Copies of this chain bind each other. A is one copy, B any other.
């Protein structure tokens, strides 16, 4: 496709350390894209626990159905991911393709099929040529390496213009643990979840039930708080594995104070990855933070924020560097959540434009106009009815989005 690097891309891919108990390998299997890697194998040592968050799409892919089932066991030995074909809406053929991939991988690794997870991203409705994956399993296994996180992040890309990775470390019982995460996603990005895949692994020892709680909560404040184009995917997958190689105490309660530092590092990492997806939003030239306060509840605040962040009129105004706060007002009004029109306040770039339902007297647009020319746009809205607050992130809507999506069959 020859997509140009997003102007919002980070300077470089982070240096990602080895996570003890995790090995990775990638390969060019010719699923769709010529001349690039498109299959990733992640293998975990025995005893690895897993939690995950999957798309709530009612037309989810066969891979999602499989992950849902396998998450029940809470045990993981491998994840097989391909890009270029989502194996969604492929009916029985798609289910059979997943079953063959799972069985072949389990046989190759000598584990139970329930410990294998699969994820696919790319075009919908085309049968997945799974024999191109299964015939490569031996070679993938031979290539496994603990130090292949950047290659892994590259193999799962579709319309992404940069590979996405993040690292954090934290202390549990005074012992240092590492969390590595990679993600892909740039269009069809919306809460519940973005069209995204993300795989996060730690060497900490965390029971599966706790992992599940932590990843659900974390997704809520990260991947479920971003939007590029309001389109939810059939294949969204976020998996979180813990190899338990660090011999920290096992805490059975996600709210245990001993886990606080770990939870904070995890949430920070998830938000970092989510922001990277927004920064790679198709056609994005601005990274937009929408903070809503004064709503009836935190959930109401999030809904208002997402309504603003999804409004094509708000997003095109930002693309045009126009501080069109009237469109923000209109978006608040259509959110369906309670707001007091006559108490509404709106600021952009920290400058209050409207307060108590009308434009501030003698409002000088100069500093706001300057803010709109930057790459980082801040919009804050107080809707004047309660204490609920939320922050969501999005990008602008530009000609680049149309270019990419009018031409690419994804």
Residues of A within 8 A of B (CB): 55, 57-60, 86, 88-94, 123-126, 187-188, 190, 192, 229-234, 310-313, 316-317, 319-320, 322, 324-327, 329-339, 341-342, 344, 354, 356-359, 397-399, 401-402, 405-407, 409-410
User: Hey, which chain B residues are within 8 Å of A311, CB to CB?
Assistant: 230-231
Q: Which residue of B lies closest to A338 (CB)?
A: B58
| B329/A406 in contact, CB under 8 A | no
Taking CB atoms, residues of chain B closer than 8 Å to A320 are 405-407
Chain B neighbourhood of A402, CB < 8 A:
316, 319, 397-399, 401-402
Assess the A405–B357 pair: CB atoms within 8 A. no
**Contact A359:B125 (CB < 8 A) given known A229-B313, A320-B406, A402-B397:** yes
State the CA gap A192–B336 with chains docked (Å).
Answer: 11
A329 to B90, CA, bound (A): 11
| CB contact under 8 A between A333 and B398, given known A322-B409, A405-B316, A406-B320 | no
- Given contacts A59-B330, A329-B124, A330-B59, whether A89 and B405 have CB atoms under 8 Å apart is no
Interface centre among A57, A188, A233, A406 (most CB of B within 10 A): A406
Q: Assuming A89-B359, A231-B330, what are 8 further A-B pairs, CB within 8 angstroms?
A: A59-B344, A93-B358, A124-B326, A188-B330, A190-B334, A313-B405, A322-B407, A324-B409
Given that A405-B317, A406-B322 are contacting pairs, would A91 and B234 also be in contact in the complex, using a CB cutoff of 8 Å?
no
Q: Are B234 and A89 in contact (CB under 8 A)?
A: no
Shortest A110–chain B CB gap in Å is 33
Q: Closest residue of chain B to A407, judged by CB?
A: B320
Most B C-beta atoms less than 10 A away, residue of A86, A313, A320, A339: A313
| Sample of 23 A–B contacts (CB below 8 Å) | A59-B333, A59-B341, A89-B344, A89-B354, A89-B359, A123-B326, A124-B326, A125-B359, A188-B313, A188-B330, A190-B334, A192-B334, A230-B230, A232-B330, A232-B333, A312-B405, A313-B410, A316-B405, A316-B406, A317-B409, A324-B410, A326-B410, A399-B399
Q: Is B58's CB under 8 angstroms from A330's CB? A: no
Q: Is the CB of B89 within 8 A of A357?
A: yes
Whether A339 contacts B188 by the Cβ 8 Å rule is no
User: For the complex, what is the distance from the CA of A161 to the CA of B402, rounded to whole Å?
Assistant: 22
Question: How distant is the Cα of A170 from the Cα of B190 in the complex, in angstroms?
Answer: 47
Which residues of chain B are within 8 angstroms of A397 by Cβ–Cβ distance? 312, 402
Bound-state CA distance A337–B56 (Å) is: 12
When the two chains form the complex, which single residue of B188, B192, B313, B341 contacts A58, counting CB atoms closer than 8 Å? Answer: B341
C-alpha gap A99/B230 in the complex (Å): 40
Shortest Cβ-Cβ A-B pairs, 6 listed: A124-B326, A320-B406, A59-B333, A91-B358, A57-B333, A316-B405
A280–B185 Cα distance when bound, in Å, is 33
Are B324 and A89 in contact, CB atoms less than 8 angstroms apart? no
In angstroms, Cα B123 to Cα A330, docked, is: 11
State which of B317, B325, B333, B407 has its C-beta within 8 Å of the C-beta of A60: B333
- For A405, the closest partner residue in chain B by CB is B316
Contact A234 B331 (CB under 8 A): no
Interface centre among A229, A336, A357, A405 (most CB of B within 10 A): A405
A59 touches B231 (CB 8 A): no
Q: Cβ of A234 and Cβ of B312 under 8 Å apart? A: no
List chain B residues, Cβ under 8 A from A316. 401-402, 405-406
B231 touching A332, Cβ below 8 Å: no
B187 touches A313 (CB 8 A): yes
A324: chain B residues at CB < 8 Å are 409-410
Q: Tell me if B333 and A58 are in contact (CB < 8 A).
A: yes
- The answer on a CB contact under 8 Å between A333 and B234 is yes
